[in-house]
Structure 1
Amino acid sequence: MNSNDTTAIHISEPKAHTKGKAAAAAAPAVVSVTTKASQHPQAGWKRGVAIFDFILRLCAIGAALAATITMGTTDQTLPFFTQFFQFQASYDDLPAFTFFVIANAIASGYLFLSLPFSIVSIVRPNAVGPRLLLLIFDIVMVALTTAAAAAAAAIVYLAHNGNSSANWFAICQQFTDFCQRVSGAVVGSFIAAAIFILLVVLSAFALRKH
């Protein structure tokens, strides 16, 4: 039997006896009984999508938070100069790296706050509101993390290769630890951006099937 099948039950009413008049036969009454089953047969796979969404958010938290901490703690001073004359490289010396730390910190905070909404989507897979809200903010986070990662990647490229036309010298031969850490942070941010893109695709796919 289909989940939305309707069963019709025919009930014949007794003849009404009135004094001095002929008895009128009443027409049979029809009572409709709807079998109550799942009204949304697609709830199963939507719950699976919501669970996958939750797992991806946990992975994105790890990537964005690692990128934030790695970049925010990057600082190297070359050891062969006196305390009055030193060469030092720190993330806050460059606006692009500062923007990188702020953007990934915002993305990490958003991901933590989005977890309860993701759980609601698991419990109520057919709810449109939480899914639509996550979709909107995930799109914003895609733009933010991609912009931050791209800006930092440009600086990392110059640090590794320099630019002879502008007389910018590569510094990674001297500041090896600094370059390794910022390069790893950029990779982590790009991973977080890729996960955000996947989250947007999943949310859009789930909403399209409503």
Structure 2
Amino acid sequence: MEKGDYALASYRNLKPGEYITFGTYPQSVDGKELAITWRVLQNSGSQLLVLSEYILDCKRYHGKRADLTWRDCMDISWQDCDLREWLNHEFYNTAFNASEKQLIKTTLCTDNGKGCPDTEDKVFLLSVAEINDVSETRGKDWRRALGTDYAKAKKPDGCSLYVYDKTNKDNYVIIDGKEAGCSWWWLRTQGNKPSRAFFVGTGCSARSYGNNSIDGYGIRPALYLDLSEME
């Protein structure tokens, strides 16, 4: 699917749990760009909240050096972390063309952590409050996530997506009759210490103790699409 080749008129009728394709991003080991599949989380009639169905990449919440370990985590807020900068610059410019960018709203992000300032973002990670709100009506199964081959590949910054490979069957999904291990993915809310962030585990639970220099957690970008721009 080429960028911009989507049925805009049909977006207004989408229901939570349905899917759209929008933008492109590398998804294979060799970096081939493919259409991004997004899960609709909310449709207010004027805007869509969507979340990437797959984990698209693997990044630290904060820190870029390849030699960083979990012990190198530092106090940081969502406002100042490297992952927020990456989402709103490198990812945003890689994934979307000019026409698509016109449809992406600037979102006021709250629930960034105790004492952490609100932010305005084009692309963001979900917060703890947002995943809990969605789960009240949609359950928790949507939280289980698989990574693309690109997300699993080792990157120059040392990051590569952790894929569950132990014995707990709740941490797998069945794809084409075969078990596939799920992966962890970041939330934007600061964790139980200023050097930590919340993440979603392989069993769907939100955890507060992700050291922000960990190199094995994935990214499921989220954004709001402005339906008024689709007239």
TM-score, normalization by structure 2 = 0.22
TM-score, normalisation: structure 1: 0.24
Whose Rg is larger? Answer: 1
